[in-house]
Each structure stands twice: as C-alpha cells, then as structure tokens.
Amino acid sequence: MTITTNVAPKYHEKEFSRRPATSTHEAILTLATGTVLAGLGLWRRGWLGTTLAAGGSYLLYCGVRDFHRPYQGRVRVGFTIAKDPQEVYDFASNPQNWARFMHAVQVKNRGESKFALSMGKPAGIDLESNVEITDQKSGEYIAWASAEQMFEHRGVIHFKKAPGDRGTEVAVAAEYKAPAGPIAKALTSLVGWDPEQVVRESLRHLKQLLEAGEIPTTTGQPAGGRGVRGAAMRVMFREGPSEDAVEQNRMAGD
C-alpha cells in the first residue's frame, strides 16, 4: 500500500531533496580541517604547499556549503485513545475541530484539501506554511505535504485498532526540511517549540478531548509572588499578567 505524500509534481518542482543532510558537527569539522590545511599550504609554499592549499580550500568550500544543507528532522509520535478508530478519525479529520486540539498552530482553510498552517507572528515575522492533504482513507489515514519548498514537511497520521479493547492507536510519522540549517533552528527558538513538540502536544490534546472531554489547564489559577526570577521569566516568555487574567469574583476570606 502506498500513501502519496508528494505534492511536488503538481507544481513542477523537485521532490523532497534527496541530498543527505549533514550534521552541524560534521560541517564544523570540515571547516576546521579546511582552514588548517589551507593555512598550512599557504605558509609552506612549493608543490606540497600548493596541493595542501588547494585541498584545504576545497574543504572550506564544502564546509560552507554544508552549513546551507537542508536541515532535516523526523517526528514519530504515537498515542492510544480509548475510542473506536472511526470515531477518532471523524473527529480528527474535521477542520472545524482543529483549533480545539492543535498546539501552537492555527489552521486556515484555503480551498479544497488546501490549508495554511500559521505559527503566528513571533518577533514580527509572519510564519505560514501552505499544506495540502495528499491522500486519505476514512478511518485509516490522512497524509499531507507542504506545498512550497521554503519549509518542506510531509507526514501521515494512521488510525489503527489497538490490541484488546483499548481503542485506537494514533500514530503520526512526519519528516521536515528547511533550506538552511540556521534558519530552521532560529525558527524553533523564535516560537519556542520544535515540530516534535507540536505534534506530540496536539495528539495529547486530541486524546484528552476525546477521552476526558476537556484539556487540563492551570492557566489562570492563583499563585503567590513569583519573585525576581519569575518576573524575568515572564519577560522572556513574553507573558503579560493581563494575558492570563480571568475575571475573579472576590469571595469571603480576603
């Protein structure tokens, strides 16, 4: 059984890049070796020197190129939900429910099977990714892929009957690439989450909604003075006291 997750042919673009991504450590090692060799070569002169310099500069070029290789990641998260696969599928596949359980991501409908995933506007940068549902089968799976190459991601959600009478195993397998490593890393630090966290917390919220009927929270509960560190953290995470404020009714006691 093949599930289609490639949307590129529709846009006449290259498929998910098949070049393997290099890790940052390898890139740094390459750069360092290149610098050392090039330096050595330029210092020594002569035939050996020229060879070393040539080799060194090639490694330098590789190192710089590696830093711009696609940043690649994989997400695999599973949760078991105590409801039948069809019921979970119907709830999860309905775009009207997405705002209720998706974490840190808003979804806007852009037409048939087309959606825009928005991660808000952290630090003034508009983060949006166009996404298409590429394949789905009721009660079994939904597959999606991003429709542009700026931030490539694709994945599948499976709904499988869990062993015994435990309900449904919901499994998400996804992979993502961003064209420049540093940019993707900056992305996660800007919005304060990484893709695995988004997927995992969204699935957890889905489970909590379907089983318990509500998502547990402590936002808005009372607390004592948070002190200097607490105030600093509020500034760092850009939480204002008004953001969590809930209309409090003064009760007897104070």
Partner 1 sequence: MKALCWQGRTKVGVEHVDDPSILNPRDAIIRITRTAICGSDLHLYDGYIPTMEPGDILGHEFMGEVVDTGSEVKKLKNGDRVIVPFTISCGQCYFCKNQLWSACDNTNPNAWMCEKMYGFSASALFGYSHMMGGYAGGQAQFARVPFADVGCLPVPEGVEDEKVLFLSDIFPTGYMAAENCDIKPGHVVAIWGCGPVGQFAIRSAFLLGAERVIAIDRFPERLKMARAGGAEILNYQEVDDLVEELKWMTGGRGPDAGIDAVGLEGHGVGMMAAYDYSKQRMKVGFDRPLVLRQVIRACRKGGTVSIPGLYGGILDKMPFGAGFNKGLIFKMGQTHMHRYMAPLLKRVHDGEIDPSFVITHRLSLDEAPEAYKTFRDKQDECIKVVLDPWREAKAA
The binding site for partner 1 (CB under 8 A) comprises 80, 82, 166-167, 197, 200-201, 204, 207-208, 211-227, 229-230, 246-251, 253-254
Cβ at position 250, least distance to partner 1 in Å: 7
Cβ nearer to partner 1, comparing 9 with 230:
230
Q: What would you report as the CA-atom Rg of the chain, rounded to the nearest whole angstrom?
A: 24
CB 167 to partner 1: min, Å: 8
The CB-of-203 to partner 1 minimum distance in angstroms stands at: 11
CB of 141 to partner 1, least distance (A): 23
Q: Using the minimum distance from each CB to partner 1, give the nearer residue, 26 or 84.
A: 84
Tokens 């304060």, residue located = 192
146 CB-near residues (< 8 Å, 6+ apart): 7, 129, 130, 131, 132, 152, 153, 154
H or E stretch at 78 = strand 71-81
CB 148 within 8 A of CB 163: no
CB of 248: closest distance to partner 1 in angstroms?
5
112 vs 214, which CB is nearer to partner 1? 214
Through-space distance between the first and last CA atoms of the chain, rounded to whole angstroms: 65
Q: Quote the CA–CA distance of 19 and 69 in Å, as a whole number.
A: 8
Q: How far is the CB of 162 from partner 1 (least distance, A)?
A: 9
Which CB sits closer to partner 1, 112 or 247? 247
In this structure, how many other beta carbons lie within 10 angstroms of the beta carbon of residue 85? 20
Q: Which is nearer to partner 1, 58 or 193 (CB)?
A: 193
Among residues 33 and 197, whose Cβ is nearest to partner 1? 197
Per-position b or e across 137-155, b if 16+ CB within 10 A of its CB = eebebbbbbbbebebbbbb
